[in-house]
Structure 1
Amino acid sequence: MDLGVILGDVHTTLSPREHLDGLLRQVEAAQRNGVRYIVMGHHYIYGDLRWLQPIPTLARIAAELDPGVKIGTMVVQVPLFHPVALAEELATLDILTRGNLIVGAGAGYRREEFTAFGVDFDQRFAMMDEALQIVRMMWTQDEVDFHGKFWRLDGVKTHIRPWQDPHPPIWIGALRDSGVRRSARLGDAWPVTPETQTEDMHRMFGVYAAARRRHGRPPVARHPLRREIVPGATTEEAFRRFEFMARDRLLAYAQRELATRDAGALTDRFRQVAAKEAIIGTAEDCLDQLRTLAAQVPVDPVIVRAQWPDMTADDVVAYLDDLGRDIVPGMREIVPVDARAVVDYSVVPHPGPTGEAR
């Protein structure tokens, strides 16, 4: 099982120089500690937080990549791009990374971003569907004809193909069953959100596998999982660490229209929520939780967030050093279940209401 890191936002009070220096320190520390995936989200007009745009930022990071390390978007908001521009920018990025790009794609969830671009928020899923069809065509065909509801292309001649043949893997984000079916139809994997509980994940992988079969697409072995891993000398210390790292930001994200976040629960019962959404405890406790998870559902890599806005660059490096020393070696010995070997998800043990296998 591999470890990945997602890059995020910082306070706008941090200078651009400090932001860049901290970002490059994080990338260096991540790779030094055995991280094999570096990914980045995508937002606009983020208020008192600065979110660098992922495509140019990842192009800069590509110059720092060690052999075998992948980078990617997780996830780019597809409806906010013209699909021709998105296809060419991502193909360019794949070339700059020498074929180490993963394209995470989603429909977006913040209405204000769509309003700023003059894009109909309520049409975002249909737009993403069309756009991804065009992107694939731009990556694989010499000439593209497409007549859709939102875009029309007549005899468009392509000139930038990705390094990877036929194209980079596409991870399509989803929160509900309908989105998981869309991911199965249009993408190559489903990046699982940290809020998705193991029992729901278990069921939704069944939905994904069934949709792949229905569309005549090959099964996917494993899917990336966004989940925090927070080790400490004791369980209490690990919870205190995660509360310092993430509590205020998770509450802020809940207030930014993310439907899967409950601001009230985060305020009143942070530790109970954290215990369900994160892997927290001593290093051995964390590894035990990862082993249990990997035996139940086909997830790999696990992608954590190392840097939260209230953390200093030294805090981030220290956290990554802890993961590299205490977690990464044990993770590499874990072999997650392979979804291609699971015919019926109902036969795979998964936790009941008390957390025990049933």
Structure 2
Amino acid sequence: MAEVAVQKNPASGGSSDTDTKLPITMATGAPSTTAVTTVTQVGTWPMTLRKWRGSIASASLMMSTLIDPAAAPNVLPMNTTLPGIGVSLSSTHRTNAVSLMIERAQVAHAAGLGSLTIGDHHDMKVPYAQNTPMLGRLLAEWVGRPAGCLFLTPLWKPLLMAEHIGTLAAMHHAASPGVPFIVQTGIGWGDAQFTNLGADMSRRGRDIDAVIPIVKALLAGEAVTDNYFGLAEATVGLRSDGPIEWWIGGTADVAIDRAARLGDCWYGSPGQDDESIRRGVERYRAAGGSRFALRRDAVLGPDARATQSLARDLTERGYRGLPFERLLSGSANELGERLGELRELGVDDVIVRCASPDQAGAITTLQELGR
């Protein structure tokens, strides 16, 4: 086994990012009584899944399914005229968090959405399902398509982060061989979670620059020695040989440069306006980056006027600090128009979180995304 000696102290270099604090809105209620829609089979492919706009990173696997559909029955050819659509499940619920998240994953899978991810926060004062154990459960519902979770990287020790990723990726690839496991990274915010996890918020930009290469080396099977993090020939016992994608989050210039340098994808913010997206994509691609995934919150349903009214009401009451214009709202028709606009701005994938305050509304949004 090769050894990688990483001697650089992050305190001697690197830079910090800025991050916008977005208040978290919790969903309430019991699991919906809405049944998961059975997908009608048409030939080889489910009808609703035929509409899925798949991710660019999975293009080679998708092309193989055109020759041998049995090779990956849930991974479909992509339509490059619109971005791919994935779901980012909310982990904050007043009651029944686990049941609500499982049901949303089931509905999103039945709707044909292209990827599933969940977030990462710590020292929460409200019920919050932690990322790695919750994703382990959700992988039982999400087979054949990319899945993963966010890591607020400066809050994680590199060996612990690599061990969690290694086990989750092995679980994912056991059921979905050849399908990417997604690792999203962010620098985090909030003094409390940094203090209570023994991390220094002022060093977060430098720390994330140091942690990502170490975790990658550990997942590649290398033994890592690092003075700053106290690693002495550290290794990860359970790893996967399957593909792992790194989605690097942030909107500051240094974060965009980091995404081009260390990632497979730049992961944009739900608060970015069109001009920020345009400038960011130009910078990212000039630095050698290619794929861009944008987070967006959404309230969708067959009644466009009603859902747009709800979205406006939510934002006026302070939903995640976002203006109305940043939410996807309306029906499938309005959604298609907006997705086309985002594609023209350079967005390859849109990762949607349900903004509806109840489970029934969230399920309607997920089903509308699949139309």
Q: Give the distance between the partners of 1:92 and 1:247, measured in 2 at CA.
A: 42
Tell me the residue number matched to 2:190: 110
Contact 2:292-2:348 at 8 Å conserved across structures: yes
Which deviations, in whole Å up to 9, do the C-alpha atoms of 1:170-191 show, x marking residues without a partner? 1111121121112222211111
In the aligned structure 1, how far is the partner of 2:245 from the partner of 2:263?
A: 8
Cα deviation for residue 292 of structure 1 reads 2.2
Give the match for residue 324 of structure 1. Answer: 370
For the 8 Å contact 1:230–1:286, the answer to whether it is kept is: no
Superposition deviation, residue 245 in structure 1 = 5.7
Query: Counterpart in 2 of 1:241?
Result: 310
Hey, what's the Cα distance between the residues in 2 that align with 1:93 and 1:123?
Answer: 28
The one of 109, 118, 139 aligned to 1:31:
109
Q: SS of the residue aligned with 1:50?
A: coil
Partner of 1:162: 240
Deviation for aligned residue 1:7:
1.3
Residue 163 of structure 1 aligns to a residue in which SS? coil
Counterpart CA distance in 2 for 1:142 and 1:163 is: 13
Distance in 2 between the 1:229 and 1:158 partners? 38
Q: CA 1:249–1:20 in structure 2 vs 1: closer, same or farther (change >3 Å)?
A: farther
**CA deviation digits over 1:175-227, x for unaligned, max 9?**
21121112222211111112111222111112112333xxxxxx42x211112
Give, as a single letter, the amino acid of the residue that structure 2 aligns with 1:288.
E
**For residues 22 and 246 of structure 1, what CA distance do their matches in structure 2 show?**
23
Change (3 A) 1:157 1:90: closer
**Counterpart check, 1:296 vs 2:345:** yes
Q: CA deviation at 1:241?
A: 2.6
Report % sequence identity.
26
Partner of 1:353: none
Counterpart in the other structure of 1:182: 258
User: Is the Cα contact below 8 Å between 1:4 and 1:304 reproduced in 2?
Assistant: yes
In 2, the alpha carbon distance for the partners of 1:50 and 1:4 equals: 24
1:78-89 equivalences under 5 Å are: 78-89=153-164
Question: 2:89 aligns to what?
Answer: 7
Asked if 1:143 corresponds to 2:193, the answer is no
1:309-348 maps to which residues of 2 (within 5 A)? 310-311=357-358, 313-325=359-371
CA RMSD of aligned residues (A): 2.2
Q: CA deviation at 1:294?
A: 0.8
Query: Secondary structure at the residue paired with 1:10?
Result: coil
Question: What residue is the counterpart of 1:58 in the other structure?
Answer: 135
* Runs of 4+ residues deviating >6 angstroms: none
> CA offsets, 1:124-176, max 9 Å, x none?
111111111210110124322334xx3143333443333325xx111111121
Task: Please give the alpha-carbon distance, in whole angstroms, between the structure 1 residues aligned to 2:318 and 2:352.
Answer: 15
Distance 1:57 1:241, change over 3 A: same
Query: Structure 2 stretches of 5 or more lacking a match?
Result: 1-82, 174-178
Displacement, 1:52?
Answer: 0.7
Q: Paired residue for 1:76? A: 151
Gaps of 5+ in 1: 213-218, 255-260, 262-272, 326-358
Instruction: Note the C-alpha offset of 1:234.
Output: 5.6
User: Which position in structure 2 is the counterpart of 1:95?
Assistant: 170
User: Residue 306 of structure 1 aligns with which residue?
Assistant: 354
